[in-house]
Amino acid sequence: MRYNSLNISSIIRKAVLECLAEVRAHCVVDEDPRKLFESEETRIIKEEMVRAARKLWARQYVDGNGGNLSVRLSSQYVLCTPTLLSKGDLVENDLVLVDLENRQICGTHPQTSEILLHLEIYKTEPTAKAVVHCHPPYATAHAVAGVIPQGNLVPEQEVFVGPVALTPYETPGTLAFAKTIVPVVRQHNTILLANHGVVCWADTITHAEWYIEVVETYCMTLMIAQKLASSLPEIPPAKVNDLLTLKKGLGLPDARLPLEPCVEEVTLREYQKDALPSSEETEALIASIAEKITALLERKA
The reported pLDDT for the residue numbered 270 is: 44
Give per-10-residue mean pLDDT for the chain (301 aa).
Answer: 66 73 50 93 97 98 97 97 98 98 97 98 97 98 98 98 98 98 98 98 98 98 97 98 97 94 53 61 82 77 62
* 260 CB burial (10 A radius; 0-12, 13-18, 19+): exposed
DSSP state of 24: H
The reported pLDDT for the residue numbered 292 is: 81
Give the H/E segment covering residue 98. strand 96-99
Choose among 16, 26, 31: nearest CA to 271.
26
DSSP state of 212: H
The reported pLDDT for the residue numbered 18 is: 63
Return the sign of the alpha-carbon dihedral for residues 80, 85, 90, 93: negative
Architecture of domain 28-270: 3-Layer(aba) Sandwich (3.40)
Taking the domains of the chain in order of start, what are their residue ranges? 1-27+280-301, 28-270
The SS3 call for residue 68 is strand
* d(C-alpha 156, C-alpha 154), whole Å: 6
Backbone phi, then psi, for 262, in 5-degree steps? -85, 115
* 114 CB burial (10 A radius; 0-12, 13-18, 19+): buried
Radius of gyration over every alpha carbon of the chain, rounded to an integer in angstroms? 23
User: Is residue 54 within 8 Å of residue 44, measured between CB atoms?
Assistant: no
User: Is residue 289 within 8 Å of residue 19, measured between CB atoms?
Assistant: no
Q: Which amino acid is residue 237, in one-letter code?
A: P
* d(C-alpha 208, C-alpha 126), whole Å: 15
* d(C-alpha 36, C-alpha 18), whole Å: 21
Q: Which amino acid is residue 175, in one-letter code?
A: L
The reported pLDDT for the residue numbered 267 is: 43
The reported pLDDT for the residue numbered 23 is: 57
The reported pLDDT for the residue numbered 297 is: 75
User: Is residue 181 within 8 Å of residue 117, measured between CB atoms?
Assistant: yes
